[in-house]
């Protein structure tokens, strides 16, 4: 297959002109306009994509009705594509899930997600272009070796309003541990039911605003990449992700597209610090890896510049996604074996070694090259840099055999099961060696991420908790979550009370005043366990 070649058929050509116009509330007057010398650095690629927003003469992004019509037309003519509605948004819009190929056990499952942030349109448009090529185009032969799932627009309400967050203000890409939103629940169910082996999450980053304010320059590169960077991942998993990163980098280089690690900065007026993508365990990129999937974030140069260079931005996403699909198809058995090994390693750690509850990035110095907003010339600047490649543990505990939840914590147990964890119920009273959590101090705080406060998360409870060795009274009806399961790392990050993305901090498990919380760490499984059916 020739890299970068775009298949175009005739039956859907001009489809964007036959359906209703875009409904996205995009205001071109608010877009940052680059100086001519800057704009000249980003010419359109020599390829075309037959998607609604890239039709000639378009002045807005793809509307929801246009997207659904485009996908329905694809499904009607394709023998390899199935479209399901994975859920509905808060405002009632469909969340389509596209399935390409069969769910054969010999084929890795690759999940591509577009537009978790509604104002980051290029990733969503790229998903439509990829769907076309998989449905009846040049990428269809890959489906003999892999299965591809596409969520083209995870946040349709945000896309319609041209806003980052969901309709209720929650950041969808911080809702992968709590599943508070219907959109988060839909994505969680896809992860649980299809267990993808590889995940690519497609975003866009800000070009001007705070970068000009802090560093006097515009963002230069076409694509920012970062694989999962969170604590508790097996070492061999990091190596596997690096191999995929090499494939993406080579494809971008071959297409003449610049790339670097993903990084961001806080709001205008704050410290002039650049930080790699966070190490928190609630972003899609990191939660996917805690689910034992090779996981990547790709971001393109797009937020704030409207439709400028849109074809190039879409092409950048398509190039990165195609590289991942091709790498998976080139070695399907190797991918499946590596992921299976990761699941075995995580399950086998039960009751041994350590679990990192809290961690932090490593501060460094790095030279970043920006673009002068007027002349378009390169502008290298040494910056304070927070690296996610070197994670510093801040709170570590021994890894338990499992966690006990009191019978009163049925909502937490149900949430764990929704995430895909195996939850059992205790059928007879027993005494088990373990540890309880005693509350030392607790205070309400805003949830922090690498850019500052996580807007939409609300106030969380941050506390200090002392573990106390004791004989734990396990009662009939209590819940047990074994750490001898592939999603054990996800269980730990949900149930350790200091975890800012977990159940205690987010009030799903209560903190009694001056007492012990209703969970415990066990050194061995209780003797009388039964499957829990959720009733």
Lowest mean pLDDT among 104-113, 261-270, 332-341: 261-270
Task: Match 């599943």 to its residue by tokens.
Answer: 179
**Quick one: average pLDDT of 406-421?**
97
| Number of helices followed by number of strands (H, E) in the chain | 13, 21
Could you report the per-residue pLDDT of 217-232, keeping only the tens digit for each? Answer: 999 999 999 999 999 9
Greatest alpha-carbon pair distance for the chain in Å reads 75
Q: Do residues 187 and 149 both lie within one domain?
A: yes
* Three-class DSSP labels, 447-474: CEECCEECCCCCEEEEEEEEEEEEEEEE
Contact assessment for residue 371 and residue 305, using Cβ atoms and an 8 Å cutoff = no
What's the chain's Rg over C-alpha atoms? 23
Could you report the per-residue pLDDT of 273-293, keeping only the tens digit for each? Answer: 999 999 999 999 999 999 999
Q: Which of 393, 418, 452 is the last residue of a domain?
A: 393
65/70 Cα distance (integer angstroms): 9
pLDDT band at residue 3, thresholds of 50, 70 and 90? very low
Per-residue pLDDT at 330? 97
Asked whether residue 57 is assigned to any structural domain, the reply reads: no
Asked whether residue 132 is assigned to any structural domain, the reply reads: yes
Question: Of how many residues is the chain composed?
Answer: 535
Mean residue pLDDT of the chain comes to: 93
Q: What is the CATH number of the domain that holds 312?
A: 3.40.630.10
Tokens of 166: 């969901």
Contact assessment for residue 240 and residue 277, using Cβ atoms and an 8 Å cutoff = no
286/225 Cα distance (integer angstroms): 13
pLDDT band at residue 449, thresholds of 50, 70 and 90? confident
* pLDDT over 80 (residue 527): yes
Contacts with 70 (C-beta within 8 Å, 6 or more apart), sequence order: 12, 15, 16, 19, 51, 52, 62, 128
Per-residue pLDDT at 25? 77
Asked whether residue 71 is assigned to any structural domain, the reply reads: no
Per-residue pLDDT at 267? 85
Asked whether residue 161 is assigned to any structural domain, the reply reads: yes
**Of the candidates 329, 493, 331, which has an alpha carbon nearest to the alpha carbon of residue 416?**
493
Give ∠ CA 277-278-283 in degrees, rounded to 5.
100
Contacts with 93 (C-beta within 8 Å, 6 or more apart), sequence order: 64, 156, 157, 160
pLDDT top residue among 252 and 4: 252
DSSP letters spanning 384-417:
EEEEEEEEEEEEEEEPPSEEEE-GGGHHHHHHHH
**Quick one: average pLDDT of 170-189?**
97
**Quick one: average pLDDT of 106-131?**
98
Per-residue pLDDT at 515? 79
* pLDDT over 90 (residue 143): yes
Asked whether residue 365 is assigned to any structural domain, the reply reads: yes
Domain that holds residue 496: 400-531
Could you give the 3-state DSSP secondary structure of residue 128? helix
Per-residue pLDDT at 456? 67
pLDDT band at residue 22, thresholds of 50, 70 and 90? very low
| Positive/negative CA dihedral, 486, 489, 494, 497 | positive
* pLDDT over 60 (residue 129): yes
* Edge-to-edge strand ranges of the sheet holding 402-405: 459-474, 430-446, 516-522, 402-405, 479-482, 424-426, 529-531
Asked whether residue 5 is assigned to any structural domain, the reply reads: no
Tokens of 430: 């027993």
Contact assessment for residue 407 and residue 256, using Cβ atoms and an 8 Å cutoff = no
Could you report the per-residue pLDDT of 380-405, keeping only the tens digit for each? Answer: 999 999 999 999 999 999 999 999 99
**Of the candidates 118, 300, 296, 278, which has an alpha carbon nearest to the alpha carbon of residue 205?**
300
Q: Do residues 472 and 431 both lie within one domain?
A: yes
pLDDT band at residue 454, thresholds of 50, 70 and 90? low
Per-residue pLDDT at 20? 35
Could you give the number of structural domains in the chain?
Answer: 3
Tell me the angle at which helices 488-495 and 332-348 cross, rounded to the nearest 10 degrees. 50
Q: Do residues 289 and 381 both lie within one domain?
A: no
* pLDDT over 60 (residue 407): yes
Q: Do residues 409 and 303 both lie within one domain?
A: no
Contact assessment for residue 316 and residue 300, using Cβ atoms and an 8 Å cutoff = yes
Give the single-character DSSP code of 286: H
Q: Do residues 193 and 305 both lie within one domain?
A: yes
How are beta strands 430-446 and 459-474 bridged, if at all? Answer: antiparallel
376/373 Cα distance (integer angstroms): 6
Q: Do residues 237 and 290 both lie within one domain?
A: yes
Element (DSSP H or E) covering residue 441? strand 430-446
Contact assessment for residue 359 and residue 394, using Cβ atoms and an 8 Å cutoff = yes
Share of the chain above pLDDT 70, in %: 94
Q: Do residues 110 and 138 both lie within one domain?
A: yes
Per-residue pLDDT at 345? 96
What are 354's strand-pairing partners?
Answer: 398
Q: Do residues 200 and 88 both lie within one domain?
A: yes
Task: Match 């849109």 to its residue by tokens.
Answer: 310
Per-residue pLDDT at 14? 34
Contacts with 52 (C-beta within 8 Å, 6 or more apart), sequence order: 15, 16, 19, 22, 58, 62, 63, 66, 67, 70, 128
H helices of 258-408, in order, are 284-290, 310-330, 332-348
Q: Do residues 477 and 428 both lie within one domain?
A: yes
Contact assessment for residue 261 and residue 229, using Cβ atoms and an 8 Å cutoff = no
Question: How remote is the C-alpha of 278 from its chain's centroid?
Answer: 11
Tokens of 364: 């460094």
Contact assessment for residue 294 and residue 240, using Cβ atoms and an 8 Å cutoff = yes
Q: Do residues 429 and 452 both lie within one domain?
A: yes
Task: Match 């730990």 to its residue by tokens.
Answer: 492
Tokens of 369: 């090259």
**Quick one: average pLDDT of 488-503?**
97
Q: Do residues 101 and 229 both lie within one domain?
A: yes
Asked whether residue 191 is assigned to any structural domain, the reply reads: yes
* pLDDT over 70 (residue 491): yes
Question: Please, what's the b/e burial string for 279-292 (b: 16 or more CB within 10 A of its CB; e: otherwise)?
Answer: bbbbbbbbbbbbbb
Asked whether residue 12 is assigned to any structural domain, the reply reads: no
* pLDDT over 80 (residue 494): yes
Contact assessment for residue 100 and residue 135, using Cβ atoms and an 8 Å cutoff = yes
Lowest mean pLDDT among 122-136, 447-461, 507-521: 447-461
* pLDDT over 80 (residue 513): no
Task: Match 């004791």 to its residue by tokens.
Answer: 470
360/232 Cα distance (integer angstroms): 13
**Quick one: average pLDDT of 183-191?**
98
Give the single-character DSSP code of 17: H
Could you report the per-residue pLDDT of 317-360, keeping only the tens digit for each? Answer: 999 999 999 999 999 999 999 999 999 999 999 999 999 999 99
Q: Do residues 279 and 406 both lie within one domain?
A: no
Query: Which residues are tagged catalytic?
Result: 299
């Amino acid at each position: 297959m020739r890299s970068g070649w775009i298949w175009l058929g005739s039956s859907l050509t001009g489809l964007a002109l036959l359906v209703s116009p875009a409904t996205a509330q995009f205001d071109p007057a608010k877009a940052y306009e680059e100086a001519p010398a800057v704009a000249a650095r980003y010419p359109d690629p020599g390829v075309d994509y037959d998607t609604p927003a890239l039709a000639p003469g378009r002045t807005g992004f793809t509307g929801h009705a246009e997207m659904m019509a485009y996908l329905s037309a694809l499904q009607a003519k394709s023998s390899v594509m199935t479209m399901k509605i994975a859920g509905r948004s808060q405002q009632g819009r469909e969340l389509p899930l596209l399935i390409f190929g069969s769910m054969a056990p010999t084929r890795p499952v690759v999940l591509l997600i577009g537009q978790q942030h509604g104002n980051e349109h290029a990733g969503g448009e790229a998903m439509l272009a990829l769907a076309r090529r998989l449905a009846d185009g040049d990428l269809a032969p890959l489906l003999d070796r892999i299965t591809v799932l596409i969520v083209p627009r995870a946040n349709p309400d945000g896309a319609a309003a041209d806003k980052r967050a969901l309709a209720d203000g929650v950041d969808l890409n911080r809702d992968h541990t709590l599943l508070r939103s219907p959109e988060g629940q839909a994505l969680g169910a896809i992860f649980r039911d299809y267990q993808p082996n590889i995940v690519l999450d497609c975003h866009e980053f800000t070009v001007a605003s705070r970068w000009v304010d802090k560093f006097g320059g515009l963002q230069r590169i076409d694509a920012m990449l970062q694989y999962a960077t969170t604590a508790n991942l097996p070492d061999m998993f990091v190596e596997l992700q690096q191999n995929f990163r090499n494939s993406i980098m080579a494809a971008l280089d071959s297409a003449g597209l610049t790339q670097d690690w993903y990084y961001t900065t806080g709001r205008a007026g704050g410290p002039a610090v650049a930080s790699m993508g966070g190490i928190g365990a609630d972003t899609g990129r990191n939660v996917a890896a805690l689910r034992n999937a090779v996981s990547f974030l790709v971001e393109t140069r797009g937020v704030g510049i409207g439709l400028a260079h849109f074809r190039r931005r879409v092409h950048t996403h398509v190039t990165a996604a195609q590289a991942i699909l091709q790498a998976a198809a080139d070695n399907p058995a190797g991918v499946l074996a590596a992921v299976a090994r990761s699941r075995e390693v995580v399950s086998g750690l039960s009751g041994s070694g350590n679990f990192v509850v809290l961690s932090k990035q490593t501060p460094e110095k790095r030279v970043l090259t920006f673009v002068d907003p007027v002349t378009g010339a390169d502008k290298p600047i040494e910056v304070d840099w927070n690296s996610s490649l070197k994670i510093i543990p801040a709170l570590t505990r021994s890894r338990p055999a499992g966690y006990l939840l009191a019978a009163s914590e049925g909502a937490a147990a149900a949430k764990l099961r929704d995430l895909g964890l195996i939850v059992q119920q205790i059928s007879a009273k027993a005494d088990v060696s373990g540890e309880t959590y005693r509350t030392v101090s607790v205070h309400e705080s805003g949830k922090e991420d690498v850019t500052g406060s996580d807007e939409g998360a609300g106030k969380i409870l941050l506390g200090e908790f002392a573990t106390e060795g004791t004989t734990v009274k396990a009662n009939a009806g209590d819940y047990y979550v074994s750490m001898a399961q592939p999603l054990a790392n996800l269980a730990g990050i949900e149930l350790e009370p200091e975890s800012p993305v977990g159940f205690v901090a987010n009030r799903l498990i209560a903190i009694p005043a001056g007492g012990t919380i209703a969970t415990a760490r066990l050194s061995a499984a209780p003797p009388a366990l039964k499957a829990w059916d959720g009733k």
